[in-house]
Amino acid sequence: MRISARFFVIAVALVLASASAAAARTIVASVTQTNGDLSQALTALPQLPFRGGSPPHGLPVITINDAQRFQTMQGFGGAMTDTSAWLIWDELTPHQRSSLMQQLFGLGPSGIGISYVRVPIGASDFTRGRTPYSYDDLPSGQSDPTLAHFSVAHDTAYVLPALRAMRSVNPLVTTLASEWTPPAWMKTNDSFGNPGAPAADLLTADYPVLAQYFVRFLSAYAAAGVPIQAITPQNEPNQHSTYPGMNFTESQEAQFIGSDLIPALNAADLHPAILGYDFEWSCALNTNAGRCDRRYPAELAADPLAGPGLAGIAWHCYAGDVDAMSSMHALAPRLAEVESECASGHNNPGPPAQLEIAAARNWASAVLLWNIALDSRGGPVEPPNYGCRACIGLATVDEKTHQYRLTRDYYQLGQASRYVRPGAVRIGSNTFVTDRYTNLGLRGPYTTPGLDDVAFLNTNGTRVLLAYNSGRSPAVFAVRWRGSYFTYALAPRATATFRWSPPRS
């Protein structure tokens, strides 16, 4: 029997159309991986096709449940300290500076899309000049209750230019401003530090003055082209330190927020999100912790004056259980949990990838590392540098060659920040580790060894799975989603990000 040419052409077209439709229904996961030794650093690997049916028997399975929804993500990032801004703006050549800013804040192959940045209000322990400062400094014994001498002139040299350059690359970066200390004349010890004796408390008469100090800062930064979206009233309240700090109990912070700060902000038509506490998950074992404990954020949130004005609680990673954020969420579900600081170095409980996953699984909507840039010695820092020995930044700047090197932290942060975009929602997934107590690495890291993961749904429909293997041997596992699966082997200390979308209809 002879088949007409026309029928043959139609048959071929139908076969091709059917193949095209089958291809459209095939789901593949894109894979990006960073190894512990950086032999792979945000390296794109071959795509993995999903297979129908059940994973091989006996294989650990991560099951993705995108019908189960948790917190909405605000972003991932780090801190533009005085030190970081100076290194980037003054110690890099213009070409190197532009390249680094693109790698930090740009998206796509050229950047990791940092979307959340913390900025100190005045000096922190990481200050380029090694000398603390505020925006209204006066000789000892003098005061300025009208803030007639207030000025952010110090920041015009390199801090504000670096932040404007950041915003030119990504104008949607959320910026969190945190105060380490008010001007010394507002404090009972007339000093920047909080060494423990004499006490470094905010003078009673200066509660409303400090509120106006925040108003002046926010207004000055906005006028300089750097709007601030969120603030914390006090970094590490009650932490004893020679570097900038202040005693601020939960009742004092509550009084300040409810009676002084919120009214002053409203009167100035300024409405940043206010995050309270800004300290460790728990500091019961920290001998320098003063009076801080896990009751502080709970009592602050429950305070009738301050609680209604709080947008969230800010946390640091250095001691305690990461599930403190889950406990806080259970007490006050409307508040955002923000992991606002985690310095990486030899005294850090764990690597950034492990932090990103553990924090997100415990309701953190933002995860921030500490300094964006440091020099090869982990500074400059206000001496003595006992607070953050051997810390590393996302980039290491060489002050002799005026070039930079990206660190492990950059790549591990990028495994999340490049692919989990603001507005993404955490979705359901199981894990194979449990949270554990951390204390500056002495009893860390954040979880028991093994395969950990967290999953997200981006606003564009992309599913993202972030996985990290803290074990000593490869983790071989399957990922199951909607009746299909793929398998993968993740090397020890390696981080992988998997991304896929539903088939086209």
Give the model confidence (pLDDT) of 318-347 as tens digits.
888 899 999 999 999 999 999 999 998 756
| Mean pLDDT estimate for the chain | 91
Mean local confidence (pLDDT), 372-388? 88
Rounded Cα–Cα distance for residues 425 and 74 (Å): 10
CA distances from residue 278 to 7, 178, 214, 317 in whole angstroms, order as listed? 73, 9, 16, 10
Give the model confidence (pLDDT) of 362-379 as tens digits.
999 999 999 999 999 999
DSSP string spanning 321-389? ETTHHHHHHHH-TTSEEEEEE--BSTTSSS-HHHHHHHHHHTTEEEEEEEESEEETTS---PSS--SST
User: Within a 13 Å sphere around the CA of 191, how many CA atoms are in the beta-carbon half?
Assistant: 15
Mean local confidence (pLDDT), 465-476? 97
Is it the case that residue 349 has pLDDT exceeding 80? no
The pLDDT score that the predictor gives to residue 504 is: 76
Which residue would you say has higher pLDDT here, 140 or 108? 140
Binned at pLDDT 50, 70 and 90, residue 108 comes out as: confident
Token pair listed for 35: 């190894």
The pLDDT score that the predictor gives to residue 7 is: 35
Q: Which helix (H) or strand (E) holds 49?
A: strand 43-49
The pLDDT score that the predictor gives to residue 52 is: 95
Mean local confidence (pLDDT), 138-155? 97
Q: Do the Cβ atoms of 227 and 174 come closer than 8 Å?
A: no
What is 72-425's CATH number?
A: 3.20.20.80
- Determine which of 63-72, 243-252, 315-324, 353-362 has the lowest per-residue pLDDT on average: 315-324
Give the model confidence (pLDDT) of 1-33 as tens digits.
444 444 333 333 333 333 333 433 689 999 999
Q: Do the Cβ atoms of 36 and 493 come closer than 8 Å?
A: yes
Is it the case that residue 286 has pLDDT exceeding 50? no
The pLDDT score that the predictor gives to residue 452 is: 97
Rounded Cα–Cα distance for residues 318 and 73 (Å): 22
Give the model confidence (pLDDT) of 190-218 as tens digits.
999 999 889 899 999 999 999 999 999 99
The residue written with tokens 């999340």 in the block is 416
The pLDDT score that the predictor gives to residue 16 is: 33
Q: Return the domain boundaries, the chain.
A: 72-425
Which sign does the torsion angle of CA 371, 376, 382, 386 carry?
positive
The pLDDT score that the predictor gives to residue 347 is: 60
Rounded Cα–Cα distance for residues 49 and 467 (Å): 18
The pLDDT score that the predictor gives to residue 442 is: 59
Mean local confidence (pLDDT), 105-111? 92
The pLDDT score that the predictor gives to residue 384 is: 81
Mean local confidence (pLDDT), 107-132? 95
Give the model confidence (pLDDT) of 217-273 as tens digits.
999 999 999 999 999 999 999 999 999 999 999 999 999 999 999 999 999 999 999
The pLDDT score that the predictor gives to residue 242 is: 92
User: Within a 13 Å sphere around the CA of 349, how many CA atoms are in the beta-carbon half?
Assistant: 30
